[in-house]
Chain A
Amino acid sequence: MKDFRLYDIADFVIDEDFIRWVHEQREEDNLFWNTWLQQHPDKHLVIATARRIVSSIQFQQTTIAAPEVEQEISRLLHTISTQQTPAAPRTARVIAFKWWYAAAVLLLSLTGGWYFYFRNTSSRPFAYASMVASKQLIEHTNTSDQPLVLALPDGSRLTLASKSRVSYAHTFGSDDTTRYGASRDVYLLGEAFFEVTKNPNRPFRVFANEIVTKVLGTSFTVRSFEKDTTIQVTVRTGKVSVYAQAATPASAKMSEIILTPNQQLLYERAAQKFQKILLNNPAPIVPASITRTMIYDDAPLDKVFSDLSKAYGISIVFDSEVLKKCTVTADLTNESFYQQLNLICSAIDAQYELIDGQVVIEANGCR
């Protein structure tokens, strides 16, 4: 044990326990030093001076943000996993090998650079190429004519359309959320249908050029080819939110749009505008056994609309006060969604409009 009674100012300054007390202010250190000072009151001035010296030694420190460190870790793991060299001490040969290695990497990245340059993506900060550049990602490209089904590490599935590519971090869906972040991020160029496993704590995000689609568990399609003038997001089941990639989280929040089943979002890239529409041929989101029993005999209208709405996950807006006396007698089984709407509307002498991805009923009421 050190005898601090014999310590001079300079001895304290270079003592590692003393330094730790000044730097970290740990509870146990505070206790020790305060007690020690009570026992040695004549040392107050010495301690005070030593403390001031230690705390005046300040170097400029660069803090490396955690994501940046993770990027370097991914880069490292990528290198060692692709480098199947045996662990052996080498000296002179290492240098020759390294030069060759550096040349190869340069060639690859240059080729990639030219490729994307000619696709005129260099000026777009959220283009696929710029999003995935600098990140160590696993990439799948579908060069065939057939859709390619891929399983993601979290159990989600995606069906990648022809001439499309998708990337994700090799840490995708890792349980270690403190290290790799909670969200499951995928980068898409082209078109893909996603079936996402439910996990409310792990948002699933698809980055497709300028827009981001965020989901908690659902199935949907994103279509975003580089040459396309629009980006489309179509929801089969569940609920997704879509927003434009923006400089600040606040402005991203502003542009956020919620999509429900059978809705499609069109993003016009030039005008940077969102438009929400209903699909031409909505598919039921409930089992066929339920849609098979849509036979009504003098049923209240709100009951019919409510069933229809649930079957397709599409919201139907109507004035229940005006339409409260209306009843419907119809067999809606095996009809398409729009045919069902037509049948109901003709029965109650109403029209429907599609506004902002919803069905809006206009009617004068029933007697």
Chain B
Amino acid sequence: MLNNNDTQLEATWLQRLQHNDEQALAAIMRKYYTALYNYAARFTNDEALIKDCIQEVFISLWQRRENATSILSPRYYLLRAVKNKVLKSLHQHNIRTGSMESEDAYDFLQEFSVEKLIIDRQMSEEQATILRKTMAQLSKRQHELIYLKFYQHLDHAQIAGLMNLSRQSVYNLLHEAIQKLRNLYQAEIFNQ
């Protein structure tokens, strides 16, 4: 139901890509650049590294263009590829600098923002502070999950694939997070 036309357009891009059309590759990058950049920015602040990783992902998409039409969701494919590439680069960097953290132990930078809510007068500063605290109580995985759900509009199966979780875990973690927010909104201070 969501964005049927977009899906069709993307299917034609992938077909054109398969037939060596560089402009189709450009169109895909144009559409997803901001989304990919923002997702990658959750893992590192290194802008140059992010840009290089996105470049490499698209170069490898080009190199594998023969199979382009087998990609069902470009967004999911690209998010996954960018995440893997960024984490791998960070991991290699860590090895070089002597840090021995495993590839799975990544940070998901918590850039949950309440400023806009205050500016839009959707809530008072007092309410925003409580909201921020509640969000801070959520785990990194829950943050990533909420981000993928609400900002990248992935479905639960895709989120599960991207985060190496089962679909049930995705649902549970998401539900737990929503429940915390819900309790907040049913508490007294949010119902003035």
Q: Give the B-binding residues of A (Cβ under 8 A).
A: 9-10, 13-14, 16-17, 19-20, 23, 49, 52-64, 69-70, 72-73, 75-77, 79-81, 83, 85, 87-89, 179
Q: Does B66 contact A69, Cβ atoms closer than 8 Å?
A: no
Other than the known A16-B153, A64-B34, what 4 A-B pairs have Cβ atoms closer than 8 Å? A13-B181, A73-B30, A80-B62, A89-B64
Bound complex: CA A75 to CA B179 (Å): 45
Bound complex: CA A253 to CA B30 (Å): 32
Output the least CB separation between A175 and chain B (Å): 12
Q: Does A60 contact B111, Cβ atoms closer than 8 Å?
A: yes
Question: When A and B form their complex, what is the total count of cross-chain residue pairs whose Cβ atoms lie within 8 Å?
Answer: 114
Given A63-B34, A72-B29, the answer on whether A19 and B181 have CB atoms closer than 8 Å is: no
Q: Does B25 contact A80, Cβ atoms closer than 8 Å?
A: yes
Given B25, B63, B114, B178, which contacts A58 in the complex, CB threshold below 8 Å?
B114
Contact with A along B38-75 (1 / 0, CB 8 A): 10010000000001001100110011111000000000
Given B54, B114, B147, B149, which contacts A14 in the complex, CB threshold below 8 Å?
B149
Output the least CB separation between A340 and chain B (Å): 55
Q: Does B178 contact A10, Cβ atoms closer than 8 Å?
A: yes
Output the least CB separation between A82 and chain B (Å): 11
Bound complex: CA A53 to CA B112 (Å): 14
Given A10-B182, A14-B174, A53-B185, the answer on whether A76 and B55 have CB atoms closer than 8 Å is: yes
Output the least CB separation between B85 and chain A (Å): 12
**Complex interface: chain B residues within 8 A of A14 (CB):** 149, 174-175, 178
Q: Does B178 contact A85, Cβ atoms closer than 8 Å?
A: no
B125 near A: Cβ within 8 Å?
Answer: no
Given B29, B117, B151, B185, which contacts A73 in the complex, CB threshold below 8 Å?
B29
- The secondary structure that dominates the B interface is helix
Q: Does A87 contact B64, Cβ atoms closer than 8 Å?
A: yes
- The secondary structure that dominates the A interface is helix
Given A13-B178, A58-B116, A62-B38, the answer on whether A79 and B59 have CB atoms closer than 8 Å is: yes
Bound complex: CA A56 to CA B135 (Å): 10
Q: Does A77 contact B113, Cβ atoms closer than 8 Å?
A: no
B164 near A: Cβ within 8 Å?
Answer: no
Q: Does B26 contact A77, Cβ atoms closer than 8 Å?
A: yes
Bound complex: CA A56 to CA B138 (Å): 15
Bound complex: CA A305 to CA B181 (Å): 83
**Complex interface: chain B residues within 8 A of A19 (CB):** 149-150, 153
Chain B residue with the shortest CB-CB distance to A176: B23
Bound complex: CA A353 to CA B191 (Å): 82
16 pairs of residues in contact across A and B, judged by CB atoms under 8 Å: A10-B182, A14-B174, A14-B178, A19-B150, A49-B182, A53-B178, A53-B181, A56-B117, A57-B150, A57-B181, A58-B117, A60-B112, A62-B34, A63-B34, A69-B30, A76-B58
